[in-house]
Amino acid sequence: MSSAKYIFVTGGVTSSLGKGIISASLGKLLQARGFSVTIQKFDPYINIDPGTLNPYEHGECYVTDDGAETDLDLGHYERFLNEATSQANNITTGRIYNNVITKERKGEYLGKTVQVVPHITDEIKRNIFLLGDSGKYDFIITEIGGSVGDIESLPFVEAVRQVRWDLGSNNALVIHLTLIPYLSAAKELKTKPTQHSVKELLSYGIQPDILVCRTEHPLSIEIRKKLALFCNVNLNSVIEAIDADTIYDVPMLMRKEKLDERVLAKLKVTAKHEPDLEQWKVFLGKLKNPINEVTIGLVGKYVSLPDAYKSIAEAFIHAGAQNDCKVNLKWISSEDIHKDTVENILGGLNAVLVAPGFGERGLEGKIEAIKYVRENKIPFLGICLGMQCAVVEFARHVLHLSDASTTELNPKTKHPVIDMMEEQKKITNKGGTMRLGSYTCKIKKGTKAFHIYGDTTTIQERHRHRYEFNNKYLDQIEEAGLRAAGTNPETGLVEIVELKDHPWFVGVQYHPELKSTVQNPHPLFVKFVEAAMNNKKSSS
């Protein structure tokens, strides 16, 4: 294809309808037909990026290879498409305004009054076209965060209207995702909220081309006809999005509803071939027909909102399917763990993961949990803060440096086994200033990590942290049995630790969960689930 086609996904009626999953599913179907696709999200809040948002409110912050802190929907895009995203794939209102204001200060608009229309909308359009202009993609799917009608999303909706007008209906289309609520008293699905939502969109000058309707019950032909008639869309462009058992079913459901066919027809694109979803189906088959089952504890601070650990949970789904094993995650608040409770809480688990996190709360609980799994030889995976806690635990209880700590928890500790790097100490701004994005790690031959990664010595993994293993303690810690299996070749920073006399005890400074996809389940998760299965077998 010569130039990119643009697909916009807006939402109406309520939030949380799953625009991200619909976008990722459509992307998957187009990709499975041989097209190159990328998905982008615009978020209408003022933060420059979600890095400074509370995970309780906003879920996990997803980090890309280029070190962008982004919305968790980008994680879905990568998991579905098996394609890396970048900063260009997630733009917020804050970033748009920041760019415009920076240009204004540089004098790029000299003499002009800088306004929402055209300056903000032009900057939005520039960002829409950035990925298309790279020439790498046949389709750019742009998800507009929030719901139509929100004050915040207006400039984005206006930019979409302009792009559609500029490019014409063969090159740009709008999919509107709405909710068809079921009134149990009346035993009826209701179309009125969708009609209102489409009217609202029309009032901004946008006629949606395709309606995707979230529903708990199948849409009858009558309901489809009604929606088509009142919302001015073709009958075959009313797409049912029925609740699914797993998000990974959605591409198949969208295929059944012919969402991809409608998109291609409207954009006048000839399909290369039918979607090749063989691999996806194999994955679904394994996911739905497990032979084994394990229970793994996830010890973290934000366990009341599982979205805070979205990528970890999804990585377990990929790794479980790979092992034909159902992985039950037991979400454990680290604050509940102390000496008297640890046995009770962790006792029956097949493996334990200690999660990433920030701040002091619950850190001692994480350390207590690690002491327990280390001593009881329960498979352990520590991610980022989880790895740091493993080092602190080891220093305290094996090296007997009783006040050993991370300076994040105790800045005055005599034994800062985890400490901030000198460069980080100079930084005062909190946004976007951590060690972020992809870094190379060299793995020592013969280590467990070396085998886990399929006998490779060079890997790339993504980071998001300020504190590091303090190399002043490296020799001491290694001698006592916790060895640095992987380090950064340029800085010497420790990226992987593993315990010698333990069946499976690995801590990683990076976030392996961010690179696990349906097509490429992450080896650390795959082997960790395997270790949990082995542990279950040997203890039964």
Choose between 312 and 499: whose C-beta lies nearer to ligand GLN.
312
Choose between 147 and 334: whose C-beta lies nearer to ligand GLN.
334
Residue labelled with tokens 């601070």: 301
- Do 321 and 287 touch, CB atoms closer than 8 A? yes
Torsion sign (Cα): 454, 457, 459, 463: positive
> By CB under 6 A, what part of segment 368-397 binds ligand GLN?
384-385
Choose between 32 and 384: whose C-beta lies nearer to ligand GLN.
384
How far apart are CB 356 and ligand GLN at their closest, in Å? Answer: 3
Can you read off the two tokens belonging to residue 489? Answer: 């070749």
How far apart are CB 361 and ligand GLN at their closest, in Å? Answer: 12
Can you read off the two tokens belonging to residue 140? Answer: 């750019």
How far apart are CB 20 and ligand GLN at their closest, in Å? Answer: 22
How far apart are CB 354 and ligand GLN at their closest, in Å? Answer: 10
Cα separation of 138 and 37, whole Å?
Answer: 6
**SS3 assignment, position 54:** coil
- Do 179 and 42 touch, CB atoms closer than 8 A? no
How far apart are CB 291 and ligand GLN at their closest, in Å? Answer: 33
Q: Which amino acid is at 199?
A: K
Among 309, 467, 469, 473, binds ligand GLN (CB under 6 A): 467
- Considering CB under 6 A, how many residues would be counted as binding ligand GLN? 10
> By CB under 6 A, what part of segment 326-365 binds ligand GLN?
356-358
Q: Other CB atoms closer than 10 Å to residue 430's CB: what's the count?
A: 10
How far apart are CB 132 and ligand GLN at their closest, in Å? Answer: 33
- Do 443 and 453 touch, CB atoms closer than 8 A? yes
Choose between 269 and 298: whose C-beta lies nearer to ligand GLN.
298
Can you read off the two tokens belonging to residue 122? Answer: 């032009």
**SS3 assignment, position 440:** strand
Selected range binding ligand GLN among 130-138, 271-279, 461-469, 525-533, rule: CB under 6 A: 461-469
How far apart are CB 453 and ligand GLN at their closest, in Å? Answer: 21
Choose between 327 and 385: whose C-beta lies nearer to ligand GLN.
385
Q: Other CB atoms closer than 10 Å to residue 181's CB: what's the count?
A: 18
Name which of 13, 312, 43 is nearest 156 in CA terms: 43
Burial class (CB in 10 A: 0-12, 13-18, 19+), 47: middle
**SS3 assignment, position 275:** coil
How far apart are CB 58 and ligand GLN at their closest, in Å? Answer: 15
The answer to whether residue 432 forms part of the interface with ligand GLN (CB under 6 A) is no
Among 224, 465, 502, 522, binds ligand GLN (CB under 6 A): 465
The answer to whether residue 301 forms part of the interface with ligand GLN (CB under 6 A) is no
DSSP characters for 195-264?
HHHHHHHHHTT---SEEEEEESSPPPHHHHHHHHHHHT--GGGEEEEE--SSGGGHHHHHHHTTHHHHHH
The answer to whether residue 262 forms part of the interface with ligand GLN (CB under 6 A) is no
Choose between 226 and 465: whose C-beta lies nearer to ligand GLN.
465
Among 466, 502, 522, 536, binds ligand GLN (CB under 6 A): 466
How far apart are CB 494 and ligand GLN at their closest, in Å? Answer: 13
The answer to whether residue 464 forms part of the interface with ligand GLN (CB under 6 A) is yes
Cα separation of 137 and 53, whole Å?
Answer: 31
Choose between 9 and 74: whose C-beta lies nearer to ligand GLN.
74
**SS3 assignment, position 178:** strand
The answer to whether residue 69 forms part of the interface with ligand GLN (CB under 6 A) is no
Q: Which residues belong to the active site?
A: 384, 511, 513
Choose between 356 and 521: whose C-beta lies nearer to ligand GLN.
356
- Do 191 and 226 touch, CB atoms closer than 8 A? yes
Task: Map residues 78-117 to x or -, x wherever contact with ligand GLN holds by CB under 6 A.
Answer: ----------------------------------------
CA distances from 438 to 358, 443, 510 (A): 20, 15, 9
Selected range binding ligand GLN among 102-110, 371-379, 462-470, 480-488, rule: CB under 6 A: 462-470
Choose between 231 and 369: whose C-beta lies nearer to ligand GLN.
369
The two beta strands, 172-179 and 5-11, are parallel
Cα separation of 69 and 66, whole Å?
Answer: 9
Contacts with ligand GLN by CB under 6 A lie at 356-358, 384-385, 408, 464-467
